[in-house]
Structure 1
Amino acid sequence: MNDPTTTPPTAAIPPPATRPPSRPDAPFGRALCAMVTPFTDAGALDVDGAQRLAERLVAQGCEGLVLSGTTGESPTTTDAEKATLVRAVREAVGGRASIVAGVGTADTRHTMELALAAEKAGADGLLVVAPYYSRPPQDAVEEHFREVADASGLPLVLYDIPGRTGTRIEPETLIRLAGHPRIVAVKDCAYDLLGTQKVLARTELAFYAGCDEQVLALYAIGAAGYVSTVANVAPRQFRSLLDLFDAGDTGGAARLQRRLLPLIESMMSAGLPGAVTSKALLTALDLPAGPLRRPLRPADRETADGLLKTYEELVATVS
């Protein structure tokens, strides 16, 4: 099926409205997509597909692309594939969007190596998740991030997602790390509104909502923007949330967030990882995606059909 939201190549996304003076700078743009990693039917990295998907996302409003994150199936891609992906997407989008490369691992030394490789490949920034599985204490978490930040010349986005890593980046740890000149942002998947506000109040860190249902709520209290999984299929609609809010139409932004909720829920809260639901829907829309790598498995037909129905209901009411 053809994608009903595809715009002609000449269609232009309007420039973002001026942000209120109190809002922190968005070092990688406001509207970022946690892009899937397309694979070929044989399971190899689909470089051409990645470039075509990246071009579409930027054309429809994404100001930055996060590669090799959770949605990008980073645990299953090799170091060489990660670097190749950065180079390919940089070639496709040029300077029209920022590229943030996921380099986080459970091993500080390995993470530093990936940071240097991403810098060489042309990334603008690094997404670094808290070390997982070993569950280090907070002083070790802090030292890990400082060592990675010192390893390259690129700015860091700290990825706080304790539901997956088993390790929180505590607010006090974030406040201390904010003093490092290359630690500039946080992808917030901690579900701790109080903690987020504490860090926003005491630092200049740019917070990016990493949970799609929280985009407007966090933006309203001073977040810099979002890193969205659902934006793989609805980039224009998510960008419109921020544009409406910045233009002063807070009611319109709230209504749009509510209209997005059925798609957000079906993709992010229905028991399947976002990589699975994103690829199911992208495939249904004849967009680059390809298979998943094990242990992830594709969505079944009923789930894929339900996702497509929810998506079509959204685009029928929201351009």
Structure 2
Amino acid sequence: MSNHKITGVFSAATTPLNADGSPDVGLFTEHCKRLIEEGCHGVALLGTTGEANSFSMGERRMLLEAALKAGISPDKLLPGTGVAAIPETIELTKHALSLGVTKVVMLPPFYYKGVSDDGLFNAYSAILEGVNDSRLQVILYHIPQVSGIPLSVPLIGRLVEAFPDTIVGIKESAGDFNNMQAIIAAYPGFSVLCGADPLLLPLLKAGGAGCITATSNLVADSLRTVYDHVHDEAQTAKVDAAQARINGYRTLSNSYVQIPTIKAMVGLKTGNAGWKRTRPPLVALTDAEYAALAEGYAQLP
């Protein structure tokens, strides 16, 4: 897997909130550090799980700066910088680069639906030409069930051909293993990272580069076990057990709306009930849902 420019286990980190709805920066940086300690190669902050599109530009910049100030190395941070307006995507990406953060995860402009590959190619081109920094490495973000904007295999190829040193990977969050395999086959060396934890093991076996997932907020150690030992036949039982544990947490996290549920589970793991808070339009679990979740969580290994 050494031919991949970006490879490893990355957490789609969730973002804790204060009672007034503002980001809890202290708890956030504590969480990011714990994710690294538990085995993540890096933290993909300010993505879907991190509620990024519910935060202002200023809040997004503040959270990235806080992670760096807390001592996390710039090369371990993959902030989401793709928003609906191209000038703001450029601004957020330049801000990351100004701090020494060179890897970003980038949604396409997502408000207008049914746009053509030409339109998406032009949008990404305008962003990269606007940023104009040779250090930048972009992971495209394919999550059509949320964004409404799929990134086709031919579009990926056009972008890789036009920006071979910059467009280096994709987070495939549609959960479509056939699509992941098609991208791997079409573009050798391009980093395909899955957004669905159950697919990490089969993806690595198929030549994928790793994952950016929500369940890593809870079981980063098991994801790292799968990543480190996937090709060691002597460790097959250990890898399978780790993947089964991951799948158990993932299944429980899907019992209710995923993002509030992941946050509640981080609260159960850490003993901090403040993790239950979400920013509207997301809503926290009801007391009954939380009680059932806590019961299920207690059964997990």
Conservation of the 8 A alpha-carbon contact between 1:185 and 1:206 = yes
Q: 1:122 to 1:290 in 2, by over 3 A?
A: farther
Conservation of the 8 A alpha-carbon contact between 1:25 and 1:224 = no
CA shift digits 1:254-288 (9 cap, x unpaired): 33322332321121x33403x21121112223257
Q: Name the residue aligned to 2:47.
A: 69
One-letter identity of the residue aligned with 2:129: D
One-letter identity of the residue aligned with 2:222: Q
One-letter identity of the residue aligned with 2:242: L
Q: 1:302 to 1:219 in 2, by over 3 A?
A: farther
One-letter identity of the residue aligned with 2:174: A
User: Aligned partners of 2:208, 2:116: CA distance in 1, in Å?
Assistant: 27
Q: Name the residue aligned to 1:238.
A: 223
One-letter identity of the residue aligned with 1:161: I
CA shift digits 1:82-130 (9 cap, x unpaired): 1111111122243286101111112222211221122224423111112
Question: Which runs of at least 4 in structure 1 moved beyond 4 Å after TM superposition?
Answer: none
Partner of residue 151 from structure 1, selected from 122, 130, 134? 130
Partner of residue 276 from structure 1, selected from 245, 248, 260? 260
Q: Name the residue aligned to 2:180.
A: 196
Conservation of the 8 A alpha-carbon contact between 2:183 and 2:192 = no
Conservation of the 8 A alpha-carbon contact between 1:28 and 1:98 = no
Identity among equivalent positions (%) equals: 24
Q: 1:231 to 1:145 in 2, by over 3 A?
A: same
Partner of residue 213 from structure 2, selected from 228, 233, 243? 228
Shift of residue 29, structure 1, vs aligned partner = 4.3
TM-score (norm: length of structure 2): 0.89
Name the SS for the 2:275 alignment partner: coil
Unaligned runs of 5+ in 1: 1-22
- 1:176-215, aligned counterparts within 5 Å? 176-179=158-161, 180=163, 181-203=165-187, 204-215=189-200
Shift of residue 69, structure 1, vs aligned partner = 0.4
CA shift digits 1:172-202 (9 cap, x unpaired): 1112212212111100113333332222123
User: Aligned partners of 1:83, 1:166: CA distance in 2, in Å?
Assistant: 25
Structure 1 residues 295-304 or 93-102, which shifts more?
A: 93-102
Conservation of the 8 A alpha-carbon contact between 2:276 and 2:284 = no
User: Aligned partners of 2:179, 2:7: CA distance in 1, in Å?
Assistant: 23
Structure 1 residues 211-220 or 287-296, which shifts more?
A: 287-296
Q: Report the RMSD for the aligned CA atoms in angstroms.
A: 2.0
Partner of residue 292 from structure 2, selected from 300, 306, 309? 306
One-letter identity of the residue aligned with 1:238: L
- Residue-pair matches, total: 291
- 1:116-127, aligned counterparts within 5 Å? 116-127=94-105
Q: 1:139 to 1:175 in 2, by over 3 A?
A: same
One-letter identity of the residue aligned with 1:30: G
User: Aligned partners of 1:37, 1:206: CA distance in 2, in Å?
Assistant: 26
Partner of residue 148 from structure 2, selected from 152, 166, 170? 166
Unaligned runs of 5+ in 2: none
Q: 1:40 to 1:70 in 2, by over 3 A?
A: same
Shift of residue 26, structure 1, vs aligned partner = 4.7
Conservation of the 8 A alpha-carbon contact between 1:58 and 1:97 = no
One-letter identity of the residue aligned with 2:167: I
Shift of residue 289, structure 1, vs aligned partner = 3.0
Structure 1 residues 57-66 or 195-204, which shifts more?
A: 195-204
User: Aligned partners of 1:59, 1:296: CA distance in 2, in Å?
Assistant: 29
Q: Name the residue aligned to 1:6.
A: none
CA shift digits 1:15-48 (9 cap, x unpaired): xxxxxxxx25454440100001122122122111
Conservation of the 8 A alpha-carbon contact between 2:169 and 2:190 = yes
Q: Name the residue aligned to 2:112.
A: 134
